[in-house]
Amino acid sequence: MDLKHPFQTSFSTQVDREILILEAHGADGTIGYSESVAGRDPFYSEETVSTTAVMLKELLVPMLIGTTIDHPDEVSQLFAPIRRNNMAISAIEGAMWDMYAKQRGASLSIAFGGTKSQVQVGVSIGLQPTDAALLEKVSAAVDAGFKRIKMKVKPGRDVDMIRAVRREFPDVLLMVDANSAYTLDDIPLLQRFDEFNLMMIEQPLAHDDIIDHAVLQKAISTPVCLDESIHSSADARKAIALGACQIINIKTGRVGGLTAAKKLHDLCAEHGIPVWCGGMLETGIGRAHNIAMSTLPNFVLPGDTAPSANYWHEDIVTPEITMNRGVIDVPTAPGIGYDINQEALDRFTQSMEIWPANGAAYPSTLSDKEPLHVS
């Protein structure tokens, strides 16, 4: 799917997304939907579309098929012996959550234990070629009512750029995301961010670091938020104990699913660490899961759950996800709460693979598709 605008971070420029969509067909005909957030390249994390497909096909689906699951938490338990591969696990676990909610006639939010009927929405703005182009983007985002603005930064596109935005927008809730572009040698530079009253700086240091972030947090007043470094509740516990961050961004894909995300959320709540929902340029399917997750009570900061039109010319859910002045009304229909735009999904689908359960019959429309070759 082509993005409306290229999305540039310190690690890559994305112009489109290749996305693995998973449909889980229940014996009763219920279909659960989910999306793997893995990218085409292993630049955000080690997982990719291909590794996700291999893990699902060769390991996760065979483990799940034939297993009786009474609650999606059991999916998380079933896969607990597997090291990492969180995005692949999250994809299959998310589809089971959707199916579970639909079978109970409950929205995913309610089935999951969410408590909010609306979620607060921020926007993530990629690196722009010039400050003027960035100011235009920020201005449009402020006009649209986003509850906070996040800008990507990297060495050479930081202090002067942030100053230019702050000068024009002195009161807007502003934060930056470095996606691991700095090192401890940059402490003097990162200290200069302190004058801009940023809500937080997200993942300034290495993707696999917790210790250096604790050193940095002691040297700057801007709160550090961790993204890439946190794959589990255990990671979060260590980061909190060391003082490596004051805020955590939770992404279902990165932490291995909704059940794992809730555990992490609860741990953060116990320690007074606010959380927010990160984004991975999802389609409406992954976005719907993110919205449901954001209804847990400790998601107190606006998330990267911008509406469909921020990313896509056409989304694969219907109605598309919309917001009103930075607020999304949580859907109340069963499961993810949005229908699939099947015509669009079929049009975007380049290949499909069916993993049958014990010889059960599949709708012929599915088997018409070209198989996906992952090896």
Question: Which residues are known catalytic residues?
Answer: 152, 251
Of Mg ion, ligand OSB, none, which one sits near residue 98, judging by CB under 5 to 8 A according to partner kind? Answer: none
Please name the amino acid found at residue 133: A
What is the rounded CA–CA span in Å between residue 8 and residue 18? 16
Of 152 and 262, nearer to ligand OSB (C-beta) is 152
Kindly state whether residue 209 participates in binding ligand OSB, applying the rule CB under 6 A.
Answer: no
Largest CA distance in the chain: 64
Query: What sign has the CA pseudo-torsion 364, 368, 369, 375?
Result: positive
Kindly state whether residue 278 participates in binding ligand OSB, applying the rule CB under 6 A.
Answer: yes
The window from 52-60, 230-238, 277-285, 363-371 that contacts ligand OSB (CB under 6 A) reads 277-285
The 37-76 site mask, x for binding ligand OSB (CB under 6 A), equals -------x--------------------------------
For residue 250, give Cα distances in angstroms to 51, 156, 168, 325: 22, 28, 30, 23
Q: Which of 309, 253, 301, 254 is nearest to 116 (CA)?
A: 301
Kindly state whether residue 280 participates in binding ligand OSB, applying the rule CB under 6 A.
Answer: yes
Contacts 24+ apart (CB under 8 A), 127-132: 127/8, 127/9, 127/10, 127/152, 127/153, 127/154, 127/157, 128/8, 131/160, 131/161, 131/164, 131/165
Distance of alpha carbon 320 from the chain centroid: 18
DSSP state of 223: P
* Nearest-approach distance from CB 11 to ligand OSB, in angstroms: 8
Of 35 and 177, nearer to Mg ion (C-beta) is 177
* Nearest-approach distance from CB 306 to ligand OSB, in angstroms: 5
Binding ligand OSB (rule: CB under 6 A), the pick from 177, 209, 235, 315 is 177
Kindly state whether residue 199 participates in binding ligand OSB, applying the rule CB under 6 A.
Answer: no
Q: Quick check: bond before 319 cis, omega within 30? A: yes
Of 122 and 334, nearer to ligand OSB (C-beta) is 122
Binding residues for Mg ion (CB under 5 A): 177, 202, 227
Of 25 and 231, nearer to Mg ion (C-beta) is 231
**Which residues bind to ligand OSB, rule: CB under 6 A?**
44, 124, 177, 179, 227, 278-281, 304, 306
